[in-house]
Structure 1
Amino acid sequence: MLDYSHSIPLVLASLAVSLMASFTGLALTQGLSRLPETQRKLRVAMASVALGGGIWSMHFVAMLGLQLPILFYYDTLTTLISALVAILMVGVAFLVMHFRTRTSASICIAGTIVGLGIPAMHYIGMSGMQLCTPVYTPIGIVLAVAASVVLGIGSFGIAYGARTHRNIILSTLTFGLAVFAVHFLAMADTNFVPAAGLGESVDAIDNAALAIIVTLISFVICGAFLLSGVTFWPAAGAASPDSAPARPASPVAPGKPSGGAGSVPVEKGPVPYEKDGRTLFVDLAQISAIRAEGHYTILYSGPAKLFCQWSITDAETRLKDSAFIRCHRSYMINPRHVSGFERKKDNGICYFERSPQLGAVPVSRTRLAEVRQALGL
C-alpha cells in the first residue's frame, strides 16, 4: 500500500468549485415552469452542464491535490466518460423535476438519480488512474453511495420544497458540501498500490495537462457563477431579462407581499361583460379570478360578479400572455390577488380577500406546481 496525503489549498479549491457549480446549476433552474418548452430544455441543458461539470471538476481538483510517492496519470477515455456520466445523471434529474408533475416522489427520484451519479462519476474517474491502482472495500463503497443518495434527496428536497432565494442558497450549501463530503468519504476508504505496468499503450492525461483542463473548466464555472449571481438577486423585484418590456405593475393585493416569484406584471386591458343589456368593460388588472359557467364565465372583480360571454377556453387563449394562470378546469386566477394558499395533499386551495363571493378556489394536482411557482412557494 502507498502512503498518500492531500494538498490543503487544492482541497479548499475543490470545495469552492463544488459550491459555485451547485449555485449556478440550481439558480439556472429557478423560474423554469413559466418558460416555453424549448427554453426550458435549453436551460435544463445549461444547468446540467454547470452542475454535472462542476461535480466532475470538484473531483479532479481534489485529485490534483492527491500526493502519492509515485507518478500517476489518467486514461483519457475513462476521464471523459466520468464527466459525461455526471452531466447525464444531473440532466435526467432536472428533466424529472421540470417536465413531470412535481411531487415528493419525484423529488426523491431526482435526488436519488443525482445521489447515484456522484459516486458513479467518482469511481469511474478513479478507475482511469494509470501506474497505480485504487483499492476499495465493499462497505466503504456502500457507505459512500448511501451518503450520496441521502444528501442528494435532502438537497433536492430543500431546493424544490419552495422555489425561493433562501431555499436556493440553502440547497447550494447542502449540495456543494454533499459532493465534497462524498468524495472524501470515498477517499477515506481508498488505498493505492503500484500497478504492475500498463501492458498496452493507452492515451493518458498527465497531471499537468489535467490541471490545465480542470483550470479552464473551473474558470468557465466561475464565470457562470458570477453571471448567475448578477441575475439571481435582481430577480426578486424585476422581470426576467427575456420577458416582455416592463409595464406599470398593478396594485398588490392586501396580504400579498411584493417581489418574489409571484410578482408577475399583469397585462392591463379591457375584458367585456354583460349588464342590463349592455356590454361594459373591466380592467384585467382588477379581476381576481375567472370561473367557468357552462359555455360562459363569471369574472370576480372585488365584491362584484360579472357575466362574460367568453368560455373558460377562450379566456385562457386570450389571456395567454398575461399573468393569469389556469389552476383548475373551471378556474383561472390572478396570482397578485391571492391572499392565502393552503396545501391539501396532492392539490391546494387559493383564497381571495378582495372577492369574498369567490370563496376558496381549488387548485388541481396537475396545476399545483405552476400555481406554487407563480406564488413564490
Structure 2
Amino acid sequence: MEFLNVNHSPGLVAMSCVLAFVAGFTGLSLTRELALASMLQKKTSVALASVALGGGIWAMHFVAMLGLQLPILFYYDAAITLVSALSAILLVGAALILLHFTERTPLIISLAGGIVGVGVLVMHYIGMSGLELCSAVYSVSGVVLSSLVAIVLCVLAIWIAYGRRTKRNIVLGTLCFAIAVCSVHFLAIAETNFVEEPMVSEFGSAISNQTLALGVIFFSFVIFGAFLWVGVTYLEPAQTAKPMTPEEPLPPAPPMAPAPADLRIPCARDGITVFVRAADVRFVRAYGHYTQVFTKDEQFFCAWPVAEASRRLLAVGFLQTHRSYLVNPAWVTRFERTKDAGRCMFDGSDLPSAPVSRSKLKVIQDILASQVSATRA
C-alpha cells in the first residue's frame, strides 16, 4: 500500500482555527441569559446556537480539508458531507437541550460536554469517509488520542462556559472549544495516511473542492455575521459618561443596616434556583410580571412581581427610585442629575444605571446625601 504525500496550506489552516473560535463564541453567546427568556425564545436560541456550534465544527473541518494538498484529484460525496454536518448539529443540540431544559447539575454539565466531544469526533470521521478517489487510513493511536482530546477539552469548555455565565467565562469557554475542535482535526489528520482509490462511491453525487469551497464560504459569511451581531453586547461601554449637571459623588459603603443580610431573594439562573443575599443586590428591575435581580457580576430572574419585591425590600433599606426600580443605596457610587431626572450608578463595570424619576428626584438625592454624611461622620 503506497501512501500519498500530504501538504497543507498555512493560510487555510489558520482560517479554520479562526472559524472555530468565531463559531464557538457565537453559539455560546446565543445561549446567555435564557433564564429570563420565554419558552419560544429559549427554543429559538438553543436551535440557533446548535447550528452555530455544530455548523462551525463542520465548517472548520472542511476549511482545513480545502487546505489539504494531495498529488491526485479527489472529490467529496455530497450526501455524506451533508450527513456529517447534520450529525454535528444534532449532537450539539442534544447537549444544549440538557444544559437549558434540565436541572444543570455537575453530571449534566459533564455529560453535555462529552456529547459535544462525540459530536466533533462523529463529524470528523463521517466527513472523512466522504472522500472519493482516495481513502483515509487511520492509526489506532490517532483515533484514541483525538477521541480523548475531544471529550476532555469539550467537557472543560462546557464547564468553563456554564460554570458561571459571565462574559469572561464565555470567552474562555470559547477559546477552549476552539482548541478542542482544531486539536481533534489536526491530531487525527497527523496520524492519518491517504491512498489512491480508483473506484468512486455511488452513495451520493460527487462535489469538487471548488463547489465545497462555495458552500463553506457562504456558511462562514453567515457565522461571521452572527459573530458581529452577538459581539456587540460585549462592546457596550460602561455607563460612566459625564453628567449634564454637577454630580453628587458617593463613596462605596457597606450596607447601613444588618437586616438585608438576613433576607435572601429566591432567584433562577439557567434552570437552577439560587438564593441571593439582599445585601449583595445592587438593584432590582421590573420584568413584565416578574423582576430581574442584579448583583455586582450577575443577573438573575426572580418570580416576585415588583410590588412583592417592593414590600419586602423597602422594609430593609432599599429605595424605590422609579416605579420599575428598587435600589440598594449601599452600593450607589455616584448619583447623576439632569434637569428632570437622574440616575444611580453602581460599582460593577457592566451594570446599567438605575433611573430616578422626576417625582422622586429630590427625595432620593437627599437620602443618598444623608447616607454619605453619616458614613463620613
TM range (shorter): 0.5 to 0.7
Render the CA deviation track for 1:14-33: whole Å, top value 9, x for unaligned. 01100000000000011112
Pairwise CA distance, 1:140:
1.5
- Identity value in percent: 48
1:1-377 matches, cutoff 5 A: 1-198=3-200, 200=202, 202-234=204-236, 255-256=280-281, 260-262=297-299, 284-285=309-310, 287-288=312-313, 301-302=315-316
Matched residue of 1:126: which SS?
A: helix
- Residue 79 (structure 1) shift: 0.1
Range with bigger deviation, 259-268 or 74-83 = 259-268
* Gapped regions of structure 2 (runs ≥ 5): 240-254, 256-277, 283-294, 319-323, 332-377
Check the 8 A contact 1:27/1:232 in 2, yes or no.
Answer: no
Whole-Å separation in 2 of the counterparts to 1:123 and 1:167 = 30
Is contact 2:80-2:204 (8 Å) kept?
Answer: no
- DSSP-derived class of the 1:3 partner: coil
Q: CA deviation at 1:159?
A: 0.5
1:198 Cα deviation after fit: 1.5
Question: Does the 8 A contact of 1:262 with 1:336 survive in 2?
Answer: no
Cα distance in structure 2, aligned partners of 1:201 and 1:159 = 39
Secondary structure of the 1:301 match is helix
Partner of 1:371: none
SS in structure 2 of the partner of residue 74 of structure 1: strand
Task: Kindly state the Cα deviation for residue 177 of structure 1 after the two structures are TM-superposed.
Answer: 1.3
* Cα distance, 1:265–1:115 mapped onto 2, change above 3 Å: closer
Whole-angstrom CA distance in 1 between matches of 2:134 and 2:115: 30
CA positional deviation for 1:146: 1.2
Taking a change above 3 Å as real, the CA distance of residues 211 and 262 of structure 1, as seen in their structure-2 partners, is: same
Task: Give a deviation string over 1:79-117, Cα, whole Å, max 9, x none.
Answer: 000000010011000000000001110001000000111
Q: Which consecutive unaligned segments of at least 5 residues does structure 1 have?
A: 238-251, 272-283, 289-299, 305-321, 324-333, 340-377
CA pair 338-196 structure 1, distance change in 2 beyond 3 A: farther
* Matched residue type, 1:301: A
Q: Is the 8 A contact 1:57 1:214 kept in 2?
A: yes
Q: Per-residue deviation at 1:138?
A: 2.1
Q: Report the Cα distance in structure 1 between the residues aligned to 2:201 and 2:235, rounded to whole angstroms.
A: 54
Using the TM superposition, give the Cα deviation of residue 263 of structure 1 relative to its aligned residue in structure 2, in angstroms.
7.2
Name the TM-score, length of structure 2 as normaliser: 0.67
SS of corresponding position for 1:135: strand
Q: CA deviation at 1:6?
A: 0.6
Q: What's the CA shift for 1:261?
A: 3.6
Q: Against the structure 1 CA distance between its residues 223 and 83, is the aligned structure 2 distance closer, same or farther, given a 3 Å change threshold?
A: same
Q: Please state how far the C-alpha of 1:214 moved relative to its aligned partner.
A: 0.3
SS at match of 1:198: coil
The answer to whether the Cα contact below 8 Å between 1:235 and 1:260 also exists between their aligned partners in 2 is no
Runs of 4+ in 1 over 3 A off after TM superposition: 199-202, 232-237, 252-261, 263-271, 334-339
In 1, Cα distance between equivalents of 2:51 and 2:7: 30
TM-score normalised per structure 1? 0.67
201 and 111 in structure 1: CA distance in 2 versus 1, 3 angstrom threshold: closer
